[in-house]
Amino acid sequence: MNPARPIDTLSGLAPLLRVRPRLQQLCRFGSQWAADHPPEPDRWAPFHFLVKGSCVIELRDRGRMVKLSAGDIAVLPHGSPHAVRGPTTPAGARGPFGIRKRPLGAIELETNVEGDGETELICGRLCFEAAGENLVLAALPEIIVMSTGDGDTGGARLRMLMSAIHEELQGVHAGAEAIATDLASALFVMVVRIQLGRDGRSGCLSGTLAHPQIGRTVAAMLDDPARDWTLDELAACAHASRASFVRMFRKSAQQSPLAFLAGLRLELAQRKLSATSLPVAKIADEVGYKSESAFSRAFHRHFGMRPGEVREAVSRTAPAMIREAAD
């Protein structure tokens, strides 16, 4: 058994995230500062990379405070309202604290000091390119905090990516914004992978992928979603009897194996509808449906819209989302 295989399943699920990062600000602050972040609209999630110093994130609706140190990364997958402030700034304080803004290449510099300041952050938002519940995102907590200072390999890789993003944003090289954006995309997928690996909670995708036998079964589903899977075949992937496999899967995922497979197929189909020009009938066949009409009915039950409507929505909203990201 290869114990890494369940977590490697994320490489197949990662495209379901349909996420595009937008790097927006490089912030340099003195000892006293605060910045409010209201609730994000659908499809947007803020993130903060703390390059230097320390700060506090307040989830004011929850009365929760999270402290960040240099090298920490915070992502709020569900767009929760929050405030970010200096460690000595009183809780609930509001600016403007003399914060000035000016262009810095393709992003904006926000600062209330001359020079480098005590704290430096890279801030931005993640743009999810398709609506509807997502298997991976639904499994994520309100806030994810990762430390690049951890001595493990994951921390070192995050630190390398974060350093490269910081360097690109401050440089004047051609294509710096595109390179930084691609690096941020890789960093986000890595953050999710680490989160799933360290979060063994049952009843969500995190627990499902972290379970060695169940994770191997999900990998098999991803490898061949068009296959007419039976419970016996899925149980064989887990090296378990049918009865024990069903019990394990229900405990881990809070649903039956075949219900999970049906949802996964539809998520894969939505991705193909959003990202390719393949005919609907071809997509239906590739995710295991024998007829386009059966696929359309199942898709409508799951997402509340027809496959053709997804294509229309993507063609309408993509330009608007690009404009909004640029604002």
Name the residue ranges covered by the structural domains of the chain. Answer: 5-198, 211-316
Tokens 């379970």 -> residue: 211
Fill in the amino acid letter for 296.
S
Inform me whether the pLDDT recorded for 181 exceeds 80: yes
- The DSSP element (H or E) to which 323 belongs, if any, is helix 307-326
| Predicted confidence (pLDDT) per residue in 209-246, tens digit | 667 788 889 889 988 999 999 999 999 999 999 999 99
CATH topology of domain 5-198: Jelly Rolls (2.60.120)
Average pLDDT, the chain: 83
Evaluate if pTM is beyond 0.75: no
Contact 121, 112 (CB under 8 A): no
- Separation CA 314–CA 321 (nearest Å): 10
In 3-state terms, what secondary structure has residue 164?
A: helix
Instruction: State the Cα angle at 200 between 199 and 201, rounded to 5°.
Output: 95
DSSP 173: -
In which band, very low, low, confident or very high, does the pLDDT at 3 lie, cut at 50, 70 and 90? very low
> Token pair of 124, please?
């931005």
Which residue did the predictor score with more confidence, 279 or 42?
279
Least confident of 1-5, 40-44, 121-125, 132-136: 1-5
Average pLDDT of span 182-200: 77
Q: How confident is the model at residue 90 (pLDDT cuts 50, 70, 90)?
A: very high
Q: Which fold has domain 211-316?
A: Arc Repressor Mutant, subunit A (1.10.10)
Q: If you compute the radius of gyration of the chain from its CA atoms, what whole number of angstroms results?
A: 22
Concatenating the DSSP letter of every residue in 76-123 gives: -TT---EEEE-TTSPTT----TT-EEEEETTEEEEESSSSS-SEEEEE
Residue-level pLDDT at 211: 77
- What gap in Å lies between CA 28 and CA 118, rounded to an integer? 7
User: What burial class does residue 315 get, using C-beta atoms within 10 Å of its C-beta: 0-12 exposed, 13-18 middle, 19+ buried?
Assistant: exposed
Alpha carbon distance 17, 197 (integer Å): 17
Looking at mean pLDDT, say which of 66-70, 77-81, 157-161, 265-269 comes out highest.
Answer: 66-70
Of 75, 225, 89, the C-alpha closest to 142 is 75
Q: What is the pLDDT of residue 271?
A: 84
The answer to whether residue 123 scores a pLDDT higher than 60 is yes
- Residue 132 binned pLDDT confidence (cut-offs 50, 70, 90): low
Q: What's residue 320's pLDDT?
A: 47
Classify residue 142 by its DSSP letter.
S
How would residue 34 be classed by pLDDT, with cut points 50, 70 and 90?
very high
pLDDT at 310 over 60: yes
60 CB neighbour count, 10 Å cutoff = 14
- Cβ neighbours of residue 115 closer than 8 Å, sequence gap 6 or more: 28
